[in-house]
Structure 1
Amino acid sequence: MINHKPDDTLPLKSTISATSRVEWQTVTLSIIIYGGFLALTWFWQSLPVVAVIGLGGWLIAWHGSLQHEVIHGHPTRNRFVNDAIGWPPLSLWLPYAIYREGHLTHHRDEHLTDPIEDPESSYFTQAAWERMGGIGRLLAAWNTTLLGRLTLGPIVMIASFLAQEAALVLNRDRRRAVIWLRHALGVAVILVWVSEVCGMPPWLYVFGFVYVGAALTRLRSYAEHRYADHHDERTAIVENSPLFGLLFLYNNLHVLHHKRPGVPWYRIPMLYRRDRDALIAVNGGLVYDGYLDVARRFLFRPHDDPRHPLHRHFGSGTADGMTEHAGVSIVERELA
């Protein structure tokens, strides 16, 4: 294990989190994403279907990255304005308010990867693992490979998320019901625009935009975290990925984001280059050389045992009445 360097070897929070009143780089990005979405859905019939699917999936994943940026206080100092930028439900299935709540909970780094405390954990407690049955465990094991995460992963996360949310609403959680009502109104507007105004078949939007976008986001989240004894060593770095780095707004340099979550996306590459050695020391050397390296290691092999090391006994999980997340991430339910 690499010895940790203290936080004072990294840039001061006060200096790297300070931003101008309006971050025009992020404002410009939001205009590009929403403008690109409107243009692609309007002119889709003029393009090959493969191009529509590729661009549509990219835009939905990019929009998820923008929502993540907004959650962390960008591009203005006004939360109402920021939330308005992130709220439109282009992905259809993930309400922004739920994503925001879960992701901020995820940033309690001392609980990273814990399937009870971390809503973005991809691990299971032993109790949840046993309840899944043979077929469920087989599917979960396949989902720990990169190929499984990209193909099966989106439907698993979306279906699991919707089932959990339906249970909350049916259990008369009024706050959740209000969130979903507002979300449904936004979804209705998106679908009317896509299908009625632009004439796009719903299947093309659901598959080419939503599903492919979710798969791209699953690529980002696949190797972001793994269990380690020290919480700083649970967060990975994926270097040398300029294209996906832009798509993920450099969240692939994930340990920097967790150590300094207030840093705006456009400053991350410079800060990472400057403090690379300190960051690698902090995360124990958990570094991948691009997403091809991730694919080489894990395309057909599991990233980790899906059972969390600290919850492999029935007595340490839900038997004490604590709520478990069943190893399904709010953010990875697209968005993680």
Structure 2
Amino acid sequence: MAVVLVVAALGTLVLQLLVLPLVLLPIDMHWGWLLLPLALTTVPLWSLVHEAIHGTLLRDRPWNDRLGRLLAIGYGAPFTLLKAGHLLHHRYSRTRRERTEVYDPETTSWLVAARMYYPRLLGGLYLAELASVLLALLPAAGWHRLVRRADSLDSVTGLLFERVSRRDNLRRFRLEAVAVVAAYTGSAIAYGAHVWLLALAVAARALLVSLADNAYHYRTRLERPLEAMNLRLPRALELFVLAFNLHSVHHRHPGLRWHELRAAFVAEQDEFHLGWFPAVARQLRGPVPATADAVRPLPASPVTDISAGQ
């Protein structure tokens, strides 16, 4: 099944990046409307990349990583960076290093926090991933300086750069970045005078990815890396997003494949915390002070191993 899903995802990318501008648009400009449903395929595309990040796309690890790398190039960001960033998310989610919407009212104001929060929410997260390809130009010494400057107990950025800058990772990152630039530069040339359609497609992907990213964690308790929400979707849409909405189950069992999450949800008598659409929309309320009751840490609990699948 995984191979079929990967082929389907790659097919939609080829359609969007090459077939549409080279074959369909010259026939009729109305084919441009096809980009609307194609934009929605960003969600299962990211879910497949996510499976590869956890090593659950294919049992053969080298091929798992190859396909993950290929899908990530179509997605628009280096697989090495996405993998390092996501695994850091599992380790540090809801801690001081990674609590996207939470700010300390003793050191900053809501307005200052909002200036960082809303751009990230409304497309900035994906655009930062896309722009990361520029870092491929940095020499090793430049990466070391970048790690030192970004190092902070209030962010995972320094840790992310440190992981990417390791010798083998950096080599892979650079190759992936070149492939991303080649793919999207080639597509832009193919679109020619209609390149604005490609720009709109990338903007739609940026909005979808950035809006969905923290919806599963917004206003959840701090200091609980395993804490996340299951968000309700009709079963057809749950299949479409490859069960990514069962996010609480995934954080507790990151080694489970996407099609195993529903069984775990039922077996553990888990629950849905919110609907997917209300959860995404409520993020527009903005940053949350660390003193708010909704995010105050729970009492200490025994340490749980979250290394599976990483």
What TM-score does the superposition give when structure 2 sets the normalisation length?
Answer: 0.68
SS in 2 for 1:43: helix
1:306, 1:164 → 2: CA distance? 33
Is 1:81 the equivalent of 2:63? Answer: yes
Q: Using CA pairs below 8 Å that are at least 6 residues apart, which structure has the higher relative contact order?
A: 1
Structure 1 segments, 4+ long, off by >6 Å, are 306-311
Alignment of 1:181 with 2:174, yes or no, is yes
Change (3 A) 1:245 1:306: farther
Q: Helix, strand or coil: the match of 2:242?
A: coil
CA contact (8 A) 2:243 2:261 kept: yes
Measured at CA, do residues 137 and 259 of structure 1 come closer, stay the same or move farther in structure 2, by a change above 3 Å? closer
Cα pair distance change 1:259/1:177, threshold 3 Å: closer
Query: In structure 2, how many angstroms separate the alpha carbons of the residues matched to 1:266 and 1:174?
Result: 33
Q: Report the TM-score, using the length of structure 1 for normalisation.
A: 0.63
State the identity as a percent: 18
Cα deviation digits, residues 156-200 of structure 1 (max 9, x gap)? 553488479848963445746534421232123312542345657
Cross-structure match for 2:5: 29
Please say if residues 154 and 218 of structure 1, whose CA atoms lie closer than 8 Å, have aligned partners that are also in contact: yes
Query: Could you say what secondary structure the match of 1:87 adopts?
Result: helix
2:285 paired residue number: 301
Structure 1 unaligned spans of 5+: 1-24, 281-285, 312-336
Residues in 1 aligned to 2:29 and 2:4: alpha-carbon distance in whole angstroms: 25
- Give the 3 Å change call, closer, same or farther, for CA 164–35 of structure 1 in structure 2: closer
Matches within 5 A, 1:43-58: 43-44=20-21, 45=25, 46=28, 48=30, 51-58=33-40
Closer/same/farther in 2, CA of residues 271 and 206 from structure 1, 3 Å limit: same
Going from structure 1 to structure 2, the CA distance change for 1:156 and 1:33 (only over 3 Å counts) comes to closer
- Aligned counterpart, 1:4: none
Query: For residue 100 of structure 2, what is the aligned residue in structure 1?
Result: 122
| Residues 168/60 of structure 1: CA separation in 2 closer, same or farther (3 Å cut) | farther
CA shift digits 1:114-140 (9 cap, x unpaired): 142x4xx4145649964xx88643323
After superposition, the Cα gap between the structure-2 partners of 1:165 and 1:258, relative to the gap in structure 1 and judged at 3 Å, is: farther
Residue aligning to 1:5: none
CA distance in 1, matches of 2:181, 2:214: 31
Q: 1:193, 1:160 → 2: CA distance? A: 19
Residue number in structure 2 paired with 1:333: none
Provide structure 2 residue ranges, at least 5 long, that are not aligned to the other structure: 145-164, 298-310
